[in-house]
């Protein structure tokens, strides 16, 4: 079979690893992480990408979680869509929604770091707090904010991010085994030390991505959206459904 896979660029290394192991032909395309700033913007970007390849492959794979509500409201046109039942990227990197929920319940106040987020100096759901970046990177982020939003707004954003991260007490490096692991580990340790947080390392599991690209779609772990259906947020353990 031929798959057209749309993936968030923060999962680039992990998706490339999974695609190489697939017995199927996989055309893999990455979309910018920046679309996470707005669920509506991200949904529109994904829908456009889906529509462009609909009818040109056997299945369209989405290497995305629900990501707030961003992947709810997507339509399958001529080609079925397959998406993991995952809350967000961290769920995918953990390998299961059950592990994600267990970590979330047992260890609230955890700020997660993973290869793709560290490479881009971003973390899921919001811009990386400049207060946990090394001095040079923090200054660069402030300059970016000032250029984009103005000096006064940049200062306000910095303060808001400081308050946002005040709820955290633990930095967790999700080690998926790809990329420069030593660098990712040290980056996370530095972030933890600079904020007075505890540091932990959590083994990643690429099981969900491997099975997504292999075409092994257990309905408990994946949603297959048939042509004419659209995705909707599911308030039970399935996370996302189709109607």
Beta bridge partners of residue 202, listed in sequence order: 174
For the purposes of burial, counting CB atoms within 10 Å of the CB of 182, is it exposed (0-12), middle (13-18) or buried (19 or more)? exposed
- The pLDDT assigned to 14 comes to 96
pLDDT at 156 > cutoff 60: no
8-30, pLDDT tens digit by residue? 999 999 999 999 999 999 999 99
What local confidence, expressed as pLDDT, does residue 218 receive? 97
C-alpha pair distances (Å), 135 with each of 3, 97, 128, 142, 170? 43, 36, 13, 11, 21
Given a contact cutoff of 8 angstroms between Cβ atoms, the answer to whether 52 and 77 are in contact is no
Cα 211 to chain centroid distance, Å, stands at 17
Residue spans per domain, the chain: 2-91+206-242, 97-203
pLDDT digits (tens, 9 = 90+) for 191-239: 899 889 999 999 999 999 999 999 999 999 999 999 999 999 988 778 9
pLDDT, averaged across the chain: 86
Between CA 202 and CA 183 the distance in angstroms is 15
pLDDT in tens, 67-107: 888 999 999 999 999 999 999 999 999 999 899 889 988 99
* Cβ atoms of residues 68 and 37 within 8 Å: no
Percent of the chain with pLDDT over 90: 65
Least confident of 41-55, 86-100, 127-141: 127-141
Residue whose tokens read 């999962």: 11
* Residue 1 contacts residue 215 (beta carbons within 8 Å): yes
Angle between helix 207-214 and helix 12-21 axes, rounded to 10 deg: 50
**Integer Cα distance of 214 and 217 in angstroms:** 8
Q: What is the pLDDT of residue 124?
A: 41
CA angle 125–38–242, rounded 5-degree value = 90
């Amino acid at each position: 079979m031929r798959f057209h896979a749309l993936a968030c660029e923060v999962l680039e290394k992990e998706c490339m690893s999974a695609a190489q192991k697939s017995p199927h032909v996989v055309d893999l395309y990455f979309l910018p992480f920046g679309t996470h700033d707005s669920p509506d913007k991200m949904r529109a970007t994904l829908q456009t990408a889906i529509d462009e390849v609909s009818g040109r492959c056997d299945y369209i794979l989405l290497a995305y979680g629900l990501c707030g509500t961003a992947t709810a409201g997507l339509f399958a046109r001529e080609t079925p869509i397959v998406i993991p039942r995952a809350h967000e990227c961290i769920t995918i990197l953990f390998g299961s929604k059950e592990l994600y929920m267990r970590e979330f319940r047992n260890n609230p106040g955890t700020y997660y770091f993973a290869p793709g987020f560290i490479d881009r100096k971003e973390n899921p759901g919001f811009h990386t707090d400049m207060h946990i970046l090394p001095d040079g990177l923090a200054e660069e982020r402030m300059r970016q904010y000032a250029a984009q939003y103005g000096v006064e707004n940049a200062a306000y954003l910095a303060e808001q991010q400081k308050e946002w991260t005040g709820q955290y007490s633990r930095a967790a490096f999700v080690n998926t085994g790809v990329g420069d692991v030593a660098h990712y580990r040290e980056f996370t340790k530095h972030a933890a030390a600079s904020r007075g947080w505890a540091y932990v390392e959590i083994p990643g599991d690429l099981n969900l991505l491997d099975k997504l690209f292999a075409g092994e779609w257990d309905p408990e772990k994946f949603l297959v959206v048939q042509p004419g259906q659209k995705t909707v947020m599911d308030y039970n353990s399935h996370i996302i459904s189709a109607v």
